[in-house]
Each structure stands twice: as structure tokens, then as C-alpha cells.
Copies of this chain bind each other. A is one copy, B any other.
Amino acid sequence: MGTSQRSGCPINLTLELLGDQWSLIVIRDIMFGRRRHFRELITKSEEGIASNVLADRLRRLVENGLLSKRDDPAHKQKAIYSLTEASIELVPLLVQVGAWGRRHTPADPVLAKRAKQLEEGGPKKWKALMAHLRASHIGPPSA
């Protein structure tokens, strides 16, 4: 799946990276669900991702610059996954995915609440969220 390069269309290239059932779910959980470790992603997964698939997706997302991985200083075995600038810039895309899902799928109103707030908050709110994510995943600019 690596260097396929079906075409240079930006939509196609994005789908080659993220067009599967799980990649955006993993990013959603890290972005909105505050998960940072493998175990958290597995055990708190609403959709029940399999551990081998999660391992594969995390590896590929890191490989493609959508996540970064580092050791947890407090625990030799724990790995901390963080969003990168590239994945933080998926916020507007995810907002539109949520907005469409809210209107055209039988989405649970409770789960759709955050999607609705982000959608109605507009670009201003998205940018605030993105700034917040940068602070907690990438750290201050001079760090």
C-alpha cells in the first residue's frame, strides 16, 4: 500500500493516506477522546478496533507524519502518540465529516452534540480548537 500513487489528484492522495475504515477513527479518538496510549485506544474504543489493525494504523500514521510517537518518561513500556501539525489541520475536514454524518446518517444525538457545536461554532471555533491541540500535542513554538 506504500508507494501506489494512483494519481496526483489531491482528493485521491488524501484517500490513499486516510481512505479506510480506521485511520480517521484513530485520529478522532486521539483528537477528541484524549487517548494517547495504545491501551487507551484499544480498551476505550467505541467501535472495537482489533489490536493488530490498530498497531498497523498507528505505524502507518506515524510513517506518514500524521502522528508522532515518543516514550513515556514515566513508564518504560508506554508509548505516547501525539497529533502533528498535519493531523491537527484535519480539523476542518473532520468537522465536515461530522456535519454530513449528522444530517445524513442515523447518528446518536448525544454523540453528535460535539459535532454540532463545532459545526455551528464556525471556522473561528475550529481555529481555537486547533490552537489548543497544538499546545497539548506539539508544545509551545519555542520548546
Contact = CB atoms under 8 A, between A and B. Distances in A.
Contact of A89 (B15, B17, B100, B111): B100
A87 B134 CA distance: 33
Interface string A79-103: 0000000100110111111111111
B17 A21 contact: no
A29 to B, nearest CB: 10
Given A17-B105, A99-B92, A10 B112 contact: yes
Interface residues of A, number: 45
Contacts of A77: none
Given A89-B100, A92-B96, A19 B19 contact: yes
Interface in A55-96: 65, 86, 89-90, 92-96
Contacts of A89: 100, 103-104
Shortest 3 CB-CB contacts between residues of A and residues of B:
A10-B101, A8-B108, A13-B105
